[in-house]
Structure 1
């Protein structure tokens, strides 16, 4: 449990400091899905090779059967069947060769990858099988995804709390800076300005009135 907790803490650090979308809905699981790895572990290169050999055998049989049809068909009836079949068979041979080449390259890359991760064949096996290799990664990805969901949820909760705290602080500052208003909705400073203007007008009117009285005298 303590070891698992250490792994969880390391994972939390990586998730919160390295993965920029951590805690967000668009945060994408960075590994292959456990289900995909499980399906990969069920593959066998021998089965693929057998399937390709069977396809090659069926293609030869198809070519032989088409040749028999050419021989028994009248010249005026042989087209466009002959051209279509020859085109189909030639393209099928090309596709067959490409698939065999791709399988050989994939098999080679798989063995190189297994050697890179120091995975060795089991007792009695000539080489590492996809089941032996991908089963390890399937287990790792499953545990990783469980931690991913838990820690991502915790980070999301922390970000929500931080956002709420920021809003609370901003709200407190805005309430502190709001100036009291009268029932009429006018801010006190505006009232003071209006009073000063009225006093100035009153003073000006008083001066004008005194000047007018002096003039009459």
Structure 2
């Protein structure tokens, strides 16, 4: 795949990923574990959702150091772009309060997230900060990728819930559906090497 096409997929994927997060937040029925933590921290610090996303990414990248993980171009692009795009989405999207609108908004966000993940991961420019943390734990300590992911997400979910982040049916739906959805979208967009790197691990680790 030509480099320009990979860069375009990376850019589109990252923008779509940040906007998908905003859609799911505006649905108001629960968000993914890392976003629950982001909401909790934003609530207590007064910082915007996107800024907390960015700062959290920086902290997670620091955890890469003892795990001997090395960031790549896509890692840096992810860190710099997801937060601002999420803030943009939250600025232009209305908060939903009617049940059918909440469901449609969340479903749209989840589907967009799956497509964005296929584009971003398939471009093969390196994992996002949170995905890299999971992979680093897997390589450093020999934990299965699924076990590492579950341990991380349960921890951040618990912390975010204690801080007042929104846990709901959307949280469960994201946890159950994002893996199968990305398993469909990733082969559509991925280079062969990116697919091979994801096979046997967890496509649901996705971009952030």
Which category of TM-score, normalised to the shorter sequence, fits these structures?
Answer: under 0.3
Using the size of structure 2 for normalisation, the TM-score is 0.23
Instruction: Tell me which structure has the larger Cα radius of gyration.
Output: 1
Q: Which has the higher contact order (CA 8 A, sep 6+)?
A: 2
